[in-house]
Amino acid sequence: MARNPNFPRSQSPVQPELVPARPSPPQRNDSAQLGSFFDMLAVRGIFTVICVAAAFHFRPFDLTPGMATLAGFLFAFAVILFELRLRKASLRTLIGAATGSILGILGAYLTTLVLAHTSIPDSTRSFVSLGAYLVMAYTGLILGANKGDMLNLQAFGGLFGSERNARYTCKVLDTSVIIDGRVADIAEAQFLDGTLIIPQFVLRELQLVADSADPLKRQRGRRGLEVLQRIQKIAHLDIQIAEDDFQNAADVDMKLIELAKRYDAKIVTNDFNLNKVATLQGIEILNVNQLANALKPVVLPGETMRVFILREGKEYNQGVAYLDDGTMVVVDSARKMINKTIDITVTSVHQTTAGKMIFGRFDEKAETSRAAAAPIPAVENHGAPERPPRPLFPDMTRT
């Protein structure tokens, strides 16, 4: 699949220096569901007092009363911090984490059953069993939380539909649209929201372009990194770095498509070829060029417009002009009017993914008649006496 040479696709495992952080998106005030801020403060205070009292009464690990009280307070503080962090997680992430933890504990339990039939000493077997529970529960928790968005929960009758609408739809950014830069302006205007996924292989590609020996490519790569910094500072966006990689994919375009399928996301791009291939595979595309073309002023057939003929066209007796926004205008019968500004009549407008093209016709006879009918400006003589016209032939009667 042919790509623009300004965006070389490479698979070199170069780690980028810039990895945008994940700014926290605006969160809903869930505390209002339980009560005011003081209500939540009271509940947490009661929980802390209970933990401190329990630790002081039972004195675990034979601690002194003071150390047991401090241990109870630290335990309550850690639980409250964990609760605050869980409030920012989505329901899919929580279900994924819980499922992963349960599977990890189940695997550890099966491991201890195997160890129970061995001749390992009790102390060693207890240590290995405890380590298996901790390691497998922790691993299941982390993996389940990271892959929670991949769960197919549609069978629950739309139970998670409201949460998906609240978190918006994930969108994957392509290298070309990051270097283009207009996506940052669109996001700042709040026409783009939700979660923006930036793949790690796209960051590597940007780093390679920024380190290129070609000054033009190096400038474009650095511009892409600056655009990412602008997007990172937009408050209503959730920027996430996807570590997923697909070794079986032929190129970066196919990796973007596979990533969009995995996260049920849309691809934001302005690459024509990627647009076609992704559409054929059922991936929704947000094309920045299509948005720009949709916002251009509408020109209807039959209207008259004034253009400057810049060069000749591909067909016979055609001229080509360009509008201020870069739209190409192909004019019939305008080859002789190169480097001139003329009035044309619009015959048709063609809208394509690559852009908009306007076709027009130049009426040479009407232009000639209009020029002939135009009055000739009078020449001021500034008070000088008028001279009679000089005869073409000498007057032989004069002596």
Q: What is the 3-state secondary structure (H, E, C) of 68-117?
A: HHHHHHHHHHHHHHHHHHHCCCCHHHHHHHHHHHHHHHHHHHHHHHHHCC
Average pLDDT, the chain: 78
Strand segments (E) across the chain: 171-173, 194-199, 237-242, 266-269, 285-287, 304-312, 318-322, 328-332, 341-351, 356-361
pLDDT of 106 above 90: yes
pLDDT of 335 above 50: yes
Contact 329, 307 (CB under 8 A): yes
CA 325 – CA 83 distance, rounded (Å): 53
Say which residues have a Cβ less than 8 Å from residue 357's Cβ, sequence separation at least 6: 327, 328, 329, 330, 349, 350
CA 399 – CA 393 distance, rounded (Å): 15
Q: Which CATH superfamily is domain 162-293 in?
A: 5'-nuclease (3.40.50.1010)
Q: Which residue has the higher pLDDT, 166 or 339?
A: 339
CA 132 – CA 109 distance, rounded (Å): 8
pLDDT of 14 above 50: no
Q: Cα dist. 107→114, 174, 376 in Å?
A: 11, 40, 98
Instruction: Give the N- to C-terminal CA distance of the chain in Å, as an integer.
Output: 93
**Furthest-apart CA atoms within the chain: distance in Å:** 151
Instruction: Give the pLDDT score at 2.
Output: 44
Q: Which of 146-150, 158-162, 281-285, 374-378 has the lowest mean pLDDT?
A: 158-162
Instruction: Give the pLDDT score at 53.
Output: 92
For 194, list phi and psi in degrees, rounded to 5. Answer: 90, -145
Instruction: Give the pLDDT score at 399.
Output: 45
Instruction: Give the pLDDT score at 83.
Output: 85
Q: Which of the four pLDDT bands, split at 50, 70 and 90, describes residue 319? A: very high
CA 175 – CA 271 distance, rounded (Å): 9
How do strand 171-173 and strand 194-199 relate by DSSP bridges? Answer: parallel
What is the token pair recorded at 258? 């596979």
2.40.30, 1.10.3470, 2.40.50, 2.40.230: which CATH number matches 304-370?
A: 2.40.50
Contact 359, 344 (CB under 8 A): no
Instruction: Give the pLDDT score at 226.
Output: 92
Strand segments (E) across 227-340: 237-242, 266-269, 285-287, 304-312, 318-322, 328-332
pLDDT of 19 above 60: no
Kindly report the number of other CB atoms within 10 A of residue 42's CB atom: 12
Q: Which residues pair with 239 in a beta bridge?
A: 196
CA 250 – CA 263 distance, rounded (Å): 20
Q: What is the mean pLDDT of residues 130-153?
A: 80
Percent of the chain with pLDDT over 70: 76
Domain ranges of the chain: 31-156, 162-293, 304-370
CA 84 – CA 91 distance, rounded (Å): 14
Instruction: Give the pLDDT score at 162.
Output: 45
Q: Which residue has the higher pLDDT, 30 or 116?
A: 116
Instruction: Give the pLDDT score at 105.
Output: 93
For 200, list phi and psi in degrees, rounded to 5. Answer: -65, -35
Q: Which class for 10: exposed (0-12), middle (13-18), buried (19 or more C-beta within 10 A)? A: middle
Q: Which of 15-19, 59-63, 77-81, 288-292 has the lowest mean pLDDT?
A: 15-19
